[in-house]
Each structure stands twice: as C-alpha cells, then as structure tokens.
C-alpha cells in the first residue's frame, strides 16, 4: 500500500485492515456499508482495526480525518461510510475525529465507475482544506477502500500543504 502512495505523497505510515478482492466477503460487507444502509459496519471495522493497531505505531497522531463525501451524496446516503470507522480508531487513540475541516466541494461521479487513469483528473479540485493552521499536526486519514490511491492523494496533499504536517493513512480495504 505504501508503495502505491509514496511516489505521489509523503507518508509516515499506511495500513489496511483487509485485502479487497472482487466477489469476496469483504467486498460484500463494504458494499453494504456504502449502499445498503448498514452504517454500523463502519463501527465494526473500526473496532477490529483498533484491536490490531498498536498505539505505539500511531502514538503521535493528533487527529483522525475521514475522507469526506459531497453533501448531496451524504444526504442521499444518510451518513459518511468511513465516519464510524474513523471514530472507533480516534477513540482508541484518544484523539479527536475531525469531519468539517476537509470538505468535498465537487460532487464527482462514483469513482468505481471511473477509469483508473481519469480518477486523478476527476479529483484534482474536488476537495478543500478549510483550516490554515501553522501548528504542525500528524493526521490519520481514513477511507473505505484504496484502489488507485487518487482520493487519498488528493486529500493528503491538502492536509500536508503545510509542510510541517505529517500524514498517515488507514483504510478498511486494499485492492491492487
């Protein structure tokens, strides 16, 4: 996972709870989390991840930030599928979950329906980081699945626009 992201983004650590394959149990669970109104699965994955994460690995995280959904998609779905995942990890680490500093300003089409080559272009200006804070922070950015890494790179670049900030990533699934 690190090798997929580090050419494009400076990272401290990156981890995924599960390997994500087509037609697998993990794929079905994440599908139900995202589209089946099964928000509690985010908490379930977060609890498992918290049990596997060693506090000493992420000991200096200052805040957990879930990849944001556009407000229209969040209203339609009723929730952000990674919020409870991130909340469980934040509680375990004893740090805040911050949802309103990184926002999705463009309502892009579903990335699963976008070719890997087009994802970076689609996401280039899709997010905005609201806070301009000079105090360096170490953020843990959380998402459901990493495929091409385009979403995490777009968000991560904003969070590390202050060169003193550091970034780590945790996802539920990882797909080659």
- Distance between CA atoms of 80 and 146, rounded to whole angstroms? 16
What count of other Cβ atoms lies within 10 Å of the Cβ of residue 115? 10
Give the torsion sign (CA, 123, 142, 26, 71): negative
CATH of the domain at 31: 3.40.50
Between CA 19 and CA 8 the distance in angstroms is: 22
* pTM score, whole prediction: 0.87
Q: Provide the number of structural domains found in the chain.
A: 1
The parent domain of residue 149 ranges over 2-174
Q: Which residues contact 133 (CB under 8 A, 6 or more apart)?
A: 162
Tell me the per-residue pLDDT of 8-27, one tens digit each, with 9 for 90 and over: 788 999 999 999 888 999 99
pLDDT digits over 71-89, tens only?
888 898 899 999 999 999 9
3-state secondary structure of 120: helix
């Amino acid at each position: 996972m690190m090798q997929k992201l580090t050419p494009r983004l400076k990272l401290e650590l990156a981890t995924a709870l599960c390997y994500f394959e087509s037609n697998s149990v993990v794929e079905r669970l994440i599908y139900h989390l995202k589209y089946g109104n099964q928000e509690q699965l985010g908490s379930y994955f977060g609890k498992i991840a918290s049990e596997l994460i060693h506090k000493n690995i992420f000991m200096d995280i200052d805040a957990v930030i879930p990849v944001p959904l556009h407000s229209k998609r969040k209203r339609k779905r009723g929730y952000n599928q990674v919020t409870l995942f991130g909340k469980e990890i934040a509680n375990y680490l004893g740090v805040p979950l911050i949802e309103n500093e990184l926002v999705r300003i463009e309502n892009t089409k579903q990335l699963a329906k976008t070719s890997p080559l087009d994802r970076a272009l689609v996401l280039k200006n899709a997010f905005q980081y609201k806070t301009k804070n000079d105090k360096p922070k170490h953020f843990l950015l959380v998402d459901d699945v990493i495929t091409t890494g385009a979403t995490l790179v777009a968000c991560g670049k904003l969070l590390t626009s202050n060169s003193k900030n550091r970034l780590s990533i945790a996802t539920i699934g990882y797909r080659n």
